[in-house]
Structure 1
Amino acid sequence: MPRNAGGVRLRGRRREQEVLDHLLRTVRDGRSQVLVLRGEPGVGKTALLDHLAARAGGCVVTRTAGVEPESEIAYSALQQVCAPLLDHLDRLPEPQHAALSTAFGLTVGDPPDGLLVGLAVLGLFAEAATARPLVCVVDDAQWLDRMSEVILTFVARRLDAESVALVLASRGPGDDLLRGLPELRVEGLPDADARALLDSVLTGPVDARVRDRIVAETRGNPLALLELPRGLTPAELAFGLGGPSPAALVTRVEEGFQRRIAALPDQTRRLLLTAAVEPIGDVPLLWRALERLGIGPEAGAPAADAGLVEIGTRVRFRHPLVRSAAWRSAEPTALRLVHRALADATDPARDPDRRAWHRAHAALGPDDEVAGELERCADRARARGGNAAAASFLERATELTADPRRRATLALAAAHAWFAAGAPAAVPDLLSAADLGPLDGRERADAQRLRARVTFALNPGREAGPALLAAAHRLETLDPAAARATYLSALGAAVHAGRLGDGDLHRAARAAREVTPGTDAGGLLLAGLTAWSLDGYAPALPLLNDALDALARQDDPGLLWLAAPVAHEVWREADWFRLTERALAHARGPAALTFRAGALLYGGRLADAADLLDEAGALERATGLAAHPSAALALAAHRGHEAAALELIDSTVKDADARGEGRLLGLAGYARAVLFNGLSDYPAALAAAREGAGYEDLAVYHWTLGELVEAATRAGAPAVAAEARERLAERTAAAGTNWALGAQALADALAGRPARAEECFREAVDRLSATRMGLPLARARLLCGEWLRRQNRLVDARTHLRLAYDAFTAMGADGFAERTGRELTAAGDPVRHRAAAGAAADLTAQETQIARLAGAGRTNPEIGAVLFLSPRTVEWHLRKIYMKLGITSRRELRGR
């Protein structure tokens, strides 16, 4: 029977052990590995993690576990993982060093950027693994605090060549942030092993049919097999162990632990409860708390003899269900006493937040002193970038405050903190509590505004617009700056409502025009969108450009949701890329990830865009905060997989109708047109584009006009193409950027004077080549190549078509690649011949990015910061690039 290096027998786990042993071999060979163990409580995940740690000889091993009472303390689990590695902190770049030091409370500074914290942890892991491989083990990931979960997931998705293993165990079914990472499903033991394990704990003979029933009802869960039969007579066992539900099984196992705990002496039970409430296994702290409770070390012996807990250099429960059984079965009075003892035993200078948290749970009723401590904890949490922790502290402070006025103010502050933490669903109850207090006019307007913002965050359709407009009107005399911001939100909501808004956009714009807009970025954006709504495109253009210029000077990630579409609308792709990159650096929320994915998509980096959208989807599932589907629609359309794309488009249309979000209908029409243009189904593309262009949706309309020109030209509807070309020209001529003029030149080549077609195609390619818009450039080359082939200029056609085909293939734009391949074959260069030649020397999309940055003189840490990789991974990719290109240095790379 297999044993791990520590001598512990693992029955029926040969497959799982082989996977973990292979993981260790890979890490020792210089590559990183990530694995998520998933399974129900008691199935053996912790035992497998122990096996991994025991087998990791010659490696640095660091581990932690999520603890349910600790799940609201920012960075608590991450700090435990990183604590043994902090000797390497000084080797990180200064911005990352500062961010991680502030997040861990080692230094005082501005609230750290979440992306910088993630890059810092990635770099710390890489530095720690330079001498020996690093193995990071995280148990009970479902109970990680929010910031630790986000950062560890970020790191997991970017480990590559650092010799790091990150292995996490979770009870979750796979709908958390870890979704999409490599998984190993841990199931119950095979029947033979399950019977053998059951026999090892049965105290007497049991009928074989009863044994089989127990094995079947526990589904081979090792902990259930070991624990459920304890203390039961053969007669009791004959009646089986209850229903087959996994939840019921967990409850039965926990109840079994509760029975065993109840049989212990009183002081031993109190010791177990104290150890369960103290989350980090700090033995000296535990003994200090027990001393205050009048409990000596000898009280631990019965619990240790019962196999429930080990107290050595750390406190370790046999299983997390033992901890939860001790915690959940405690009387409220006993629990408060334990929290009080832990608070008294905790050094207020070294760990003020945990001390305050224990004091809060020890309080029997209102306690202004403790509430004040919790407020200070919230301030510290915000300074470390932990909005969720700040919200938890403020919410508990609200509960402990007796004064109605102060209580209402705290409830409002907690509501704002939860909204900032990306948890809008937690806000309404707190706003209801705030409404009960005597808020002043400014606070009531603020609460009304926040309620409307929550409505918009949860359902960005037409329902939010009127509420935001009412809040803005109320704020005009109380807080003009807040009023302007709220009018901007109302305008944005009306933009999202689009064709389903029933005049909301004009109502919001007319009301916003009555207030002084201000000269900051938000004020300029308000003025620009007001003009865009009431006066038209050209009059609004200078104001919108001024707003983007102001945003270049004044970084305000909170404006991204409108600023990114405006950058589209005025054809400024450099601003679009800059805004989305900055937003992602500020916070990796669903909105920032989605907007950045859109920029990368049109830059030709479809795989990178897909990775960000996967991350956004995981965050959406974890927080309930929906990611906007615009980038996902465009990605599906450009990939060209018809069934999958149409399923997403159709579901988006249903959502749009249900939520009153008309802009989604415009996006769906655009996506359908792209899909069918790529698949050469031009009549279907024409119908979709005409429907999509029926309303001038912000940042969608001009994209759809381009698709309409192409579809109408190919479908034999020249009048429709010419009319769409003219509508497009009204915008591109006013914008005047390379992106705008390139798009217009392409429309002119397709639907303008035939004599100027070649000149216009050449201008389109030249202008788009001067931008970062790799996907539109490839499409321009395709259209140019198709036109040249129809002119029977096959050599020239092949040049453009080859470039387009290589680009689409590298991007993963399969529909357009197939369309281009057919044209290339018709031009006399079958793509299968080209695919066979020199394929081994092709660079991946990520390698191409690294090669370009390295060729531009960027260092490995700088490249890593741009692409969210560790410097060691960058170096590993560079070696592969050199080998593929047959070169040996960056100097030669610049020449390529």
Structure 2
Amino acid sequence: MGFVGREAELEAIARCRAKVAEGVPWVAVVEGEAGIGKTALIRRALAEAEDGLRVCWASGTPFEQDYPYGILDQLFRRLPLDVPGIRDLLQTLTPTASPLAVGGDLLAVLASATDDSGPLALVVDDVQWADSQSLAALAFMMRRLYCEPVLVAVTARSHGTLLRSPGETAAGLDWQALIRAAGRVQHLHLHLAGLNADETGRLATAQGARALTSAGQARLWERTEGHPLHLRSLLAQATPGQLADLSHSLPLPVSMGEIIRHALGRLPADGRRLTEALAVLDSPVPLGIAARLAGIEDAAQALGPVLDSGLVQWEPRPDQPTAPLHIHHRLQREAVYQALTPGVRRELHAAAADLVGTDAGWAHRVAAASSTDSRLAGQLAAEAEKQVLASCYARAVTLLLWAADLAPDRGGYEEYVLVAAMHLARGLQNLPKFAELCRRIEGCAPSARRDAALGCVVNFRGDLRGAETLLAEAAASAVDPVTVSVANTWLGNVCLQQADGPGATKAVATALRNAPSDRSRRFLQALRAQGTLYTDGPGPALDVLAQAHLPELASQLPQADSVLLGYRGHARVLAGQLRAGAADLATLIDRQHHDPDLQAGPNEHIILALACLLSGDWEGSLINAEQALVISEMTEQLYGSAPSRSVAAMVHALRGEWDRARECLEAAWQHVGLFPELTGLYPVVAQAVLEQALNDRPALKRSLSRIDSEAPGSVTVYQILWAPLMVDAHTAAVADLPPTAQDLERATGAVATFDQLATPAIGGTVTALTCTSHWLHGRLAAACGDTTSARSSYQQAVATHVVEEDDIPLHRAFAHHDYARLLLADDQGTDHRDAVTHLQHAHRLFTQLGAVPHAGRAARDLADIEGPVQAAPRHAVPAGLTEREHAVAHLAGQGLTNKEIGRELFVSPKTVEYHLGHVYEKLQLTGRRQLRTALPGRSMTYAA
């Protein structure tokens, strides 16, 4: 068939293609109604050319939305199996595989493929029917494209279908998220309309019609509005004479449905039955199977007129003797299917069930049912359980909803719907099924099970208050153990998402009494510890976790219990056990990369970012904060947005990067409203860190006053962050005025709160909090005028020796600086040499950290005594490097390979190599060895 028109669109895609060949990734979207020519345009635009572009093609279909990674499987089976990583990638496309892990592997495979064969195009036709896992993995991959010569092209329908077959869901997946995820990648969005009158005439001529006059072209355009599929269908039915004779109207009706019915009426009986059979099968099949379903003996003779009609496509090849036969376009298939009488449909579906695979046969058996069928419903439910065991939750839900429609009574219907809801809550998010399922659940009779199921679904939709109400009602009224356990477990989760420690602890305690297995009990104990974290703090939470008898070393914990590392790592870091907590979190993150059953979340990276921040590895903190943000956005776990941006704001503020700090803070405040109880404290602390760095004490006090309005749970959890700031704010003189009695009361309370966290420091056991505890006691004593106690506390602070990774160097630097100021203010003629020594220690520590504002103040204090000192570096990032380049250089300097760096930063090894090249050029280095001495700062080591 000829291709006519679309010159502007072809030129636009050609420009994208040229940029891709130069190493600039692009995304091209072609949107329009069914049959408008989207697929034809992409095929023409990506046809062979001198740039050597390789095209991998996948097509979404309604029936395959239930199958995880179906689109990716199609795409990457088009690549040679000798591309590095492709075999492993194909093997990891299991239902439980994490889209983030798969997306990361995609980056590496794409980099290898483009290195070997040049630019690559990934085409997803009918993206609105792509499975959600493939979309998530592709979105993640597209967000991390930098310099890979990759063109991602998608086509999408603007309108719905004429008629959906059994099991076919409405197009509704948020495929636009794929485009929003493109981020820095350039993109092109084309909306196709019909051809104009001249193009309509040219297409008619290309299809074999006689040259038309302008009036003939106008008449043809008015009848079809330039819609290519309508036009081709009409041209296949009208004779050249009918098209040219303007004295008679065109003999064909306007609608596609009527055109198809007319075309079917003109086919011989065998040809019509063959076309109808293909419409019912709704997938490419060998001619023999279609002929068997149609009940015709001479398939070859029947096929000729069908091919001539333009309804059916058949492309036999020497290497494929059973070439698949299918209706040319889905819009035509829908019209043929719609033209069938109900009786013929059921008859054909019943026969088709025995001709196709077992899984595809279920849809045909359902479509063949003319009434309720308890036996078939039971078989569908049994098959759904098999799908659950294989973690194919979407497929299980589809089967159960079919079973519900076939149930002979209301009780059976509701049973299947509620079971489907539980599976949907376990395995899926943000699918069109949610809306349908919610309507069905709400229509069920009131019961504890109904409330539990609806609560789970509502929770995933983000309505925490609504979910809490439903789950609390279910937990209170349920009598069967399963519903009691499910309702209380989910209620505990919802309470934790709102930092409601008491509510979570109570719900989880009830769930524990009904836990079905040892593994469930261990998980519930972890939830209980998390609840204790919000009621009593990190130390008591670790005591609860101790009841699970976890091995001390993270690497020794069984793989099946890996999720517990997140809870323990969280509590350990906030209890000041920085090295051990970081080891727990790093081990879990590494296992998430390799174990498809471990779903990645932002929280592990957020707490690891805090551990790095406290330990002085500020570059590692920024890296983990960005990883948390990426995971939060890509998995739509939006509770991670405010904390990740807040941690980044703290690092930038401590470095004196004011604009960047304020930018991150503004974004953090915008996202706090999503989960205020859980995340509201983060931007408060980040704002306070910024004002402390600016030495704006009145503003620092005002910011910290917000802590009183925060949820008690979040305040209890994060004493390690806010208590030192509170003491600093309320013990410092402002405008030469000493702290007020109210100030000292607030500072005293903050010290007492921190002492609850740092009990080992008071008892004599040295921890990461020991130095901080003595420093805070020194600040309070000095503010109260007790110079002797202050001197003693400061001496203990600076004399404390701990393992480097468990130290908080910023607090140690503050202790040296404050001790020096105390010595300088001593009216008894103290030798200022000690003060100078401590100022030098403070200046050195601040400088090593890259804490430019604090280093500047220490330098000024030194200058007042000894004259000018060498200024601290302006920032920790070497001049000229972007943040991304510095992150790559930071990890390369630690000895990581390009592949390992790519996994850490969620980029491809090719991107790592690209950034390293710029680093070497800007810093005039020759290799990685020199990076270790060229970059300032320190790194945490995680001994698992």
Are the aligned partners of 2:772 and 2:797 in contact in 1 as well (CA < 8 Å)?
no
Contact kept in structure 2, 1:781 and 1:803, CA below 8 Å: no
Deviation, structure 1 residue 392: 1.8
Paired residue type of 1:312: E
State the partner residue of 1:84.
78
Q: Based on CA coordinates, which of the two structures has the bigger radius of gyration?
A: 2
Q: Aligned runs of 1:676-687 on 2, under 5 Å?
A: 676-677=691-692, 682-687=697-702
The answer to whether the 8 A contact 1:76-1:145 is kept is: yes
* Structure 1 position 21 matched with structure 2 position 47: no
> Are 1:727 and 2:753 an aligned pair?
yes
Contact preservation (8 Å) 1:378, 1:390? yes
| Letter of the 1:153 counterpart | A
The secondary structure found in structure 2 opposite 1:770 is: helix
Q: Which moved more, 1:262-271 or 1:505-514?
A: 505-514
Q: How far, CA to CA, are the matches of 2:387 and 2:297 in structure 1?
A: 34
Q: How far does residue 364 in structure 1 lie from its aligned partner after superposition? A: 3.1
Instruction: Please name the residue that 1:258 is paired with.
Output: 257
- Alpha-carbon distance in structure 2 between the residues aligned to 1:34 and 1:739: 48
The one of 600, 616, 640 equivalent to 2:632 is: 616
State the Cα distance separating 1:63 from its structure 2 match: 0.5
Counterpart mapping for 1:133-532 below 5 A? 133=118, 134-158=120-144, 164-170=150-156, 175-181=176-182, 182=185, 184-187=187-190, 194=196, 196-197=198-199, 200=202, 204-205=213-214, 256-266=255-265, 275=278, 281-284=284-287, 287-288=290-291, 291-292=294-295, 296=299, 310-313=313-316, 321-323=331-333, 325-326=335-336, 332-333=342-343, 335-337=345-347, 339-340=349-350, 342-346=352-356, 348=357, 352-367=358-373, 370-371=376-377, 374-375=380-381, 377-378=383-384, 381-382=387-388, 385-402=391-408, 408-423=414-429, 425=434, 428-429=438-439, 431=441, 448-459=451-462, 461=464, 464-465=467-468, 468=471, 471-472=474-475, 478=481, 487=488, 489-497=490-498, 504=503, 520-525=521-526, 528=529
Q: CA deviation at 1:410?
A: 3.6
Q: Secondary structure at the match of 1:62?
A: strand
Whether contact under 8 Å (2:778, 2:794) holds in the other structure is: yes
Report the alpha carbon displacement of residue 394 of structure 1 after superposing the two structures with TM: 2.7
Written as runs of structure 1 = structure 2, the 5 A alignment for 1:878-893 is: none
Q: Deviations over 1:235-262 (max 9, x none)?
A: xx9xxxxxxxxxxxxxxxx984334323
Confirm or deny that 1:570 pairs with 2:575.
Answer: yes
AA matched with 1:132: S
TM-score, with normalisation over the residues of structure 1? 0.72
Which letter does structure 2 place at the counterpart of 1:727? T
In structure 2, relative to structure 1, the CA distance for the partners of 1:489 and 1:396 (3 Å cut) is closer
CA separation of 1:129/1:533 partners in 2, compared to 1, >3 Å: closer, same or farther?
A: closer
- Code of the residue aligned with 1:258 in structure 2: it is G
Once the two structures are TM-superposed, the CA of residue 197 in structure 1 deviates from its matched residue by: 2.8
Change (3 A) 1:69 1:295: farther
One-letter code of the match for 2:522? A
Alignment partner, residue 703 of structure 1 = 721
Asked whether 1:37 is paired with 2:59, we answer no
CA spacing shift, 1:738–1:64, aligned 2, 3 Å: farther
1:819-857 C-alpha deviation (Å, 9 max, x unpaired): 98899899877899879976369972441354156x2xx
Match of 1:691 among 698, 701, 706: 706
Distance 1:188 1:146, change over 3 A: closer
Matched, 1:542 2:543: yes
Aligned partners of 2:98 and 2:597 also within 8 Å: no
1:749–1:760 Cα contact (<8 Å) kept: no
Contact 1:600 1:608 in 2 (8 A): yes
State the 1:626 CA deviation.
Answer: 5.7
Q: Is the 8 A contact 1:356 1:377 kept in 2?
A: no
Equivalent pair of 2:103/2:138 in contact (CA under 8 Å) = yes
CA distance, structure 2, for counterparts of residue 353 and residue 48 of structure 1: 34
Task: State the SS of the aligned residue for 1:168.
Answer: strand
- The amino acid across from 2:7 in the alignment is R
Match of 2:892 among 848, 851, 856: 851
Please tell me the residue identity of whatever aligns with 2:117. R
Which runs of structure 2 are paired with 1:618-633 in the superposition (5 Å)?
Answer: 618-620=634-636, 627=639, 629-632=641-644
Distance 2:846 2:491 in 1: 46
Q: CA contact under 8 A between 2:813 and 2:842: conserved in structure 1? A: no
For residues 904 and 663 of structure 2, the distance between their equivalents in structure 1, rounded to whole angstroms, comes to: 35
Asked if the contact 2:417–2:440 (Cα under 8 Å) also holds between the matched residues in 1, the reply is: yes
In structure 2, the CA distance between the partners of 1:578 and 1:414, relative to structure 1 (3 Å rule), is same
8 Å contact 1:411–1:431 — kept in the other structure? yes
| Matched residue type, 1:263 | H
1:542 Cα offset (Å): 1.9
User: 1:831 and 1:538, CA in 2 relative to 1: closer, same or farther beyond 3 A?
Assistant: closer
- Of 294-303 and 56-65, deviating more is 294-303
How far does residue 474 in structure 1 lie from its aligned partner after superposition? 6.1
Encode CA deviations 1:659-704: one digit per residue, 9 max, x unaligned.
xx64455456445545655666543442332332455324345433
In the aligned structure 1, how far is the partner of 2:196 from the partner of 2:815? Answer: 65
Q: What's the offset of the Cα at 1:417?
A: 1.6
Q: RMSD over aligned Cα, in angstroms?
A: 5.6
Amino acid at match of 1:148: S
Residues 36-89 of structure 1 show CA distances to partners (whole Å, capped at 9, x for unaligned) of 425333776434421343135645432011123332233332222222337348
User: Does the residue aligned with 2:701 lie in a helix, a strand or coil?
Assistant: helix
Distance 1:619 1:260 in 2: 45
Paired letter, 1:19:
R
* Partner SS, residue 524 of structure 1: helix
1:132 to 117, 128, 131: 117
| Equivalence for 1:73 | 67
Residue 243 of structure 1 aligns with which residue? none
Shift of 1:602: 6.0
Are 1:449 and 1:468, in contact at CA under 8 Å, matched by a contact in 2?
yes
Unaligned regions of 5+ residues in structure 1, if any?
Answer: 104-110, 238-253, 437-443, 809-816
Paired with 2:105 and 2:805, the residues of 1 have a C-alpha distance of 34
Structure 1 residue 302: deviation in Å? 6.1
Counterpart residue type for residue 770 of structure 1 = E
Secondary structure at 1:344 match in 2: coil
Range with bigger deviation, 151-160 or 68-77: 151-160
Tell me how far 1:16 sits from its aligned partner: 1.4
- How much does 1:393 deviate? 2.5
Partner of 1:812: none
Shift of 1:334: 5.0
Query: What's the offset of the Cα at 1:285?
Result: 7.3
Deviation at 1:731, TM superposition (A): 1.0
Cα displacement (A) at 1:484? 6.6
Which residue identity does 1:692 align to in structure 2? I
- Measured at CA, do residues 843 and 673 of structure 1 come closer, stay the same or move farther in structure 2, by a change above 3 Å? closer
Q: Following TM superposition, by how much is the alpha carbon of 1:875 offset from its aligned partner in structure 2, in angstroms?
A: 6.0
Percent identity over paired residues: 21
* Residues 736-766 of structure 1, C-alpha deviations (whole Å, 9 max, x = no match): 89554566466557656564787688689x8
Aligned partner letter, 2:44: H
Structure 2 residue aligned with 1:107 = none
Alignment of 1:804-843 (within 5 A): 804-805=849-850, 839=880
Change (3 A) 1:888 1:831: closer
Query: Partner of 2:7: helix, strand, or coil?
Result: coil
Distance 1:821 1:147, change over 3 A: farther
Q: Does residue 649 of the first structure (1) align with residue 669 of the second (2)? A: yes
How many residues matched? 814
For 1:726, the aligned partner's letter is: A
1:770 is aligned to 2:786: no
Task: Encode CA deviations 1:631-663: one digit per residue, 9 max, x unaligned.
Answer: 35625754656477447536634x56xxxx644
Amino acid at match of 2:32: E
- Aligned letter for 1:39? E
